[in-house]
Structure 1
């Protein structure tokens, strides 16, 4: 393959093909500019512009995370009732309105009301966005489309972070108010994109629709949800635990942390689509999830070596460990999308996608404290049981996916054929 062919292939893996796949990816990038801007500047905005203490901010965000956890499944069921495009569109408009009210928030109670409302809107809209992509695209295109969305999502996050840096440099109340109003405008623009997407034919609902919490009784599916959700801990490992390890247990320069974040962004933009190939069936998604888990386990074995090396060798070890974790993220994400696209039954897709997201939300509640305690506060030996945990999760997920293939989904007459194939 010549240089021109290599460049053409690289461009094809970053630029989505024309049509619905590109439209979905572009709206994801636009949305990410707003969300990336807020994530990068929110801590300073809450404390400087709203006058909240760090303890109040932490408490409010914890409460909102708990509310989101409890609301994910019933809010996901709204998609089945009203349609994904409508729920997604209403969610974006509400999100814009809530962000526009931030400058008027007075005190902790007002802040808590806004962040809880945003958590609920985000839970409903996140499910609706995924269900729309699944319903609108052919099965062979679903995982690839999600990969393009994530690739451009990272581009949007990067642009948002750059804008946040400018806001933080200005550091005035007017700049912070302008920031949240700009974010609200971005979400309204995203809503316009969503409004212009093709309208879908409604999926035929079952004669006796199940209740909003019935999906929680689907033991095979909830097992997959938990196992797949635990694997999303790679985000916590990369953004929280590894930086703390670098600061407290290595002699690497602090600037390396920012460099590793940049490496993560670049590789996801360039490689996510390529890494998603083969994950568009339930067995393929299970294999991708297993490979991702084993790569996380390998990362846990490599990273602690940096605690006993010195100088340039430490940097080499840290870059190698970070690369392993990025590859794990790329492959595991593709596996999660494949499971999302293939396991939920069409007529109850909103409730089931919400239940699948439940596993990752459980991870976000336990992983930051648990993995930090194991990896950082033990002095290093905790990385080895952590590696064993991820290896066991990886080995368990393929049999769990096969179990779902042998079991009827609740609310359906029979299991979907594509999930029956055993996972080698």
Structure 2
């Protein structure tokens, strides 16, 4: 009977309950098939099918990342003005149209136009997707629903990577064009799926909404955004810095890297929902973020040991460091969702959720180069200050969230008579 209960609990943590939570998880998986397919095959598509150089691809993607950074807050405001479901549907249709044009791109200028447009659309859609989940679900279900979506995303990414492997094996221009047209179809299916989702309750807004960049004046909230964003650097550590460390400072076989990526995917699918419990309040989310940061710091102390070991012991140390980073990712992600669901004011969620993403965007700008320099190019001693950075950020997140809770949000300052429903 105990075994049955364990199996039943495990299944419940992977398969979302019927209703909107399951529908959102299915949508996430469908979306991730297309997204995972493109991420795995895009580099070859850009160079083989479009004839671009590696330098052109890198420059275009960097410019697109800058657009995403600058556009996250103002584009998030579109969700407040037009509603998350509408923005999500229109954005998915635009994504489909942009991917459908990829095979007809000629030269760097055309490529740049498409990737920049995709970056802007993705910024708007990313906010709309989160705000829809928050608006449409009861407070007690929001973080759990996001956890189910993340599990489903990883399943979809895995399926997309498998399909990408087939495309790369065929390795023809026709196959690469078919790949992006298939992705365009996935986005059209996503748009139809989202359109058929239940309409979320209308959220009251002030008669005169705050300006698109006004959220940047909310200092406590922006401090939370910065700290929470920096804690997401565990992704860079796991997918970029740790593989480089393995290749340059350990005697572990290269296949270990692929094994650790697979381990990450499996554990997220199996454990994300279970680990997310207790993060549906701002205080609980802050504590989870702190635990995640401390686990990252501990991983930074364990990982360099692998540079001093040999053989099987090296692999054991690497797996231990990987498990710490995976657990940190699971806990910190749940903390981020809890902050996303609880801190933004209802009438300005789009702008505030976009602002919360600024910290993540900033992390993506500085973490790859910064953490690689500290962890890899120093020969090993740089892991100590890296761990110290995460300890400091983790220590600061709880009091900073408390500060944000004590401070009224900008969009919540107006009295009730000045509130009007979203059109």
Q: Give the TM bin, normalised by the shorter chain.
A: over 0.9
Specify the SS of the correspondent of 2:205.
Answer: coil
Is 1:159 aligned to 2:159, yes or no? yes
Gaps of at least 5 residues in structure 1 are 416-424
| TM superposition shift of 1:413 | 2.8
2:133 matched residue in structure 1: 133
User: Is the 8 Å Cα contact of residues 29 and 155 (structure 2) preserved in structure 1?
Assistant: yes
For 1:96-111, what aligned pairs fall within 5 Å after superposition? 96-111=96-111
Is 1:48 aligned to 2:45, yes or no? no
| TM superposition shift of 1:149 | 0.1
2:27 matched residue in structure 1: 27
Counterpart-to-counterpart distance in 1, 2:25 and 2:32:
11
CA RMSD of aligned residues (A): 0.9
Counterpart-to-counterpart distance in 1, 2:271 and 2:15:
12
Specify the SS of the correspondent of 1:411.
Answer: helix
1:419 matched residue in structure 2: none
User: Is the 8 Å Cα contact of residues 76 and 353 (structure 1) preserved in structure 2?
Assistant: yes
> Could you list the per-position Cα deviations for residues 258-288 of structure 1 after superposition, in whole angstroms to 9, with x for gaps in the alignment?
0000000000000000010000000000000
1:183 matched residue in structure 2: 183
| TM superposition shift of 1:3 | 1.4
User: Is the 8 Å Cα contact of residues 155 and 269 (structure 1) preserved in structure 2?
Assistant: yes
1:413 matched residue in structure 2: 413
Gaps of at least 5 residues in structure 2 are 416-423
1:205 matched residue in structure 2: 205
Q: TM-score, normalised by structure 2?
A: 0.97
2:362 matched residue in structure 1: 362
Specify the SS of the correspondent of 2:412.
Answer: coil
> Could you list the per-position Cα deviations for residues 103-128 of structure 1 after superposition, in whole angstroms to 9, with x for gaps in the alignment?
00000000000000000000000000
| TM superposition shift of 1:412 | 1.2
2:276 matched residue in structure 1: 276
| TM superposition shift of 1:5 | 1.1
Specify the SS of the correspondent of 1:205.
Answer: strand
1:196 matched residue in structure 2: 196
> Could you list the per-position Cα deviations for residues 6-34 of structure 1 after superposition, in whole angstroms to 9, with x for gaps in the alignment?
11110000000000000000000000000
Aligned length: 415
For 1:65-144, what aligned pairs fall within 5 Å after superposition? 65-144=65-144
1:224 matched residue in structure 2: 224
| TM superposition shift of 1:200 | 2.0
Specify the SS of the correspondent of 2:204.
Answer: coil
> Could you list the per-position Cα deviations for residues 333-356 of structure 1 after superposition, in whole angstroms to 9, with x for gaps in the alignment?
000000000000000100000000
Is 1:292 aligned to 2:292, yes or no? yes
User: Is the 8 Å Cα contact of residues 206 and 414 (structure 2) preserved in structure 1?
Assistant: no
Counterpart-to-counterpart distance in 1, 2:159 and 2:275:
24
| TM superposition shift of 1:411 | 2.3
User: Is the 8 Å Cα contact of residues 136 and 201 (structure 2) preserved in structure 1?
Assistant: no
Is 1:304 aligned to 2:293, yes or no? no
| TM superposition shift of 1:207 | 2.2
Specify the SS of the correspondent of 1:13.
Answer: helix
Counterpart-to-counterpart distance in 2, 1:414 and 1:207:
9
Specify the SS of the correspondent of 1:319.
Answer: helix
User: Is the 8 Å Cα contact of residues 96 and 183 (structure 1) preserved in structure 2?
Assistant: yes
1:15 matched residue in structure 2: 15
For 1:213-252, what aligned pairs fall within 5 Å after superposition? 213-252=213-252
| TM superposition shift of 1:414 | 8.1
2:256 matched residue in structure 1: 256
2:345 matched residue in structure 1: 345
Counterpart-to-counterpart distance in 2, 1:206 and 1:5:
49
| TM superposition shift of 1:204 | 1.1
Specify the SS of the correspondent of 2:252.
Answer: coil
2:397 matched residue in structure 1: 397
User: Is the 8 Å Cα contact of residues 408 and 414 (structure 1) preserved in structure 2?
Assistant: no
Counterpart-to-counterpart distance in 2, 1:48 and 1:35:
19
Specify the SS of the correspondent of 1:51.
Answer: coil
User: Is the 8 Å Cα contact of residues 13 and 273 (structure 1) preserved in structure 2?
Assistant: yes
| TM superposition shift of 1:201 | 2.9
